[in-house]
Amino acid sequence: MFSVELTKKKAIIDGLQYFDLNRSCRCGQAFRWNEHGEGFLGVAGDKAAILAQSGSRLEINPSSAADIDFWINYLDLNSDYTQMLCELNKDERLNVCLTCSSGIRIFKQEPFETLISFIISANNNVKRISGSIAKLAALCGEKLRFGDIDYHAFPEPEAIAGLSIAELEACGLGYRAPYILDTAKRIAEGYDLNALKHISLEAARKELTEFKGVGPKVADCVLLFSLGHTDAFPVDVWMGRAITELFFNGVKPQKTEVESVIKSLGQYSGIAQQYIFHYARLMRLGKK
DNA sequence: ACCCAGGGTGACG
DNA sequence: CGTCACCATGGG
């Protein structure tokens, strides 16, 4: 599948297929990856890494040498996308998306971090979302060092739960501040997000939308990006446009018609969603 | 000044 | 059940 070569502190992965670091880091699934030299510097939880790709070769430079397996799992490199892509490519309407978006992998993120991040994402844009998360981490995330790089871990639920509304608003969270506070308190009190991995998509959705600031779209992002539900299908403004163009010849469909299309995409519809989303933004569908 | 951004809430019918 | 004004904030 792929080989791993370990040096003192780095790992060289070779023989990768269907992996595009640049697209995966920029596609809007995670908000703590930034360009760094030839690659990307990212933070997940309390871990950081510098990643650089050249063809089928990926260099992983982790903040701790013990985290190589963590990053291989985070990047979902152990999954074989061959069969899934083959499955999705049977739908001709997806061909153009899969071509333009090839190599995007769904990162396996931590549920609480993902939940907070996507509550922030509501009616917001990627640049501002990233900025707010960075400010939140700087405010109450553990301060850590990676070589000569200072960074902050994503805050623990208890840390966010201890903030005031004013402190949260200072992170640029606007009207979402009380949602973030309430959610952090619930998790700090012991709500187990990981349990949602093992129940049905519908039941998990219902649970998540009980959190303030979490509607169907945010719930599906959390389910897809952190809870292993590959058939969760977030529909935002871009997806609405893309579905209208790709599946309904530009005529806005009914809600039930959209649901029918999603169902037809099968158990990997969420992965397809990511490819379609990237395609829609790339093509600026619905804009000049 | 207006519109938009990986939408959700609450009120109203 | 569906619709819709409103919600903070910053960039285009």
Catalytic entry in A10, A197, A212, A217:
A217
Note the pTM of the prediction, 2 decimals: 0.97
- A222 CA vs C6 C1’ separation (Å): 25
A213 touches strand C (CB under 7 A): no
Which nucleotide is at minimal CA–C1' distance from A274? B6
* A217 part of the active site: yes
> Tell me, in Å, how far CA of A276 is from C1' of C5?
31
Tell me what pLDDT residue A286 has.
Answer: 73
| Length A286 CA → B5 C1' (Å) | 14
Q: Where are the alpha helices (DSSP H) in chain A?
A: 21-26, 68-74, 81-89, 95-101, 111-120, 126-140, 157-161, 165-169, 177-188, 201-208, 216-226, 237-248, 255-264, 269-283
Name the residue with tokens 């960075």.
Answer: A134
Nucleotides of strand C lying closer than 7 angstroms to a protein CB: 2, 7-11
| Nearest residue (CA) to C1' of B9 | A213
pLDDT digit of tens for each residue in chain A (288 aa)? 899 999 988 999 999 999 999 999 999 999 999 999 999 999 999 999 999 999 999 999 999 999 999 999 999 999 999 999 999 999 999 999 999 999 999 999 999 999 999 999 999 999 999 999 999 999 999 999 999 999 999 999 999 999 999 999 999 999 999 999 999 999 999 999 999 999 999 999 999 999 999 999 999 999 999 999 999 999 998 899 999 999 999 888 999 999 999 999 999 999 999 999 999 999 988 764
Q: Token match 């959390």: residue?
A: A222
* Integer Cα distance of A162 and A184 in angstroms: 9
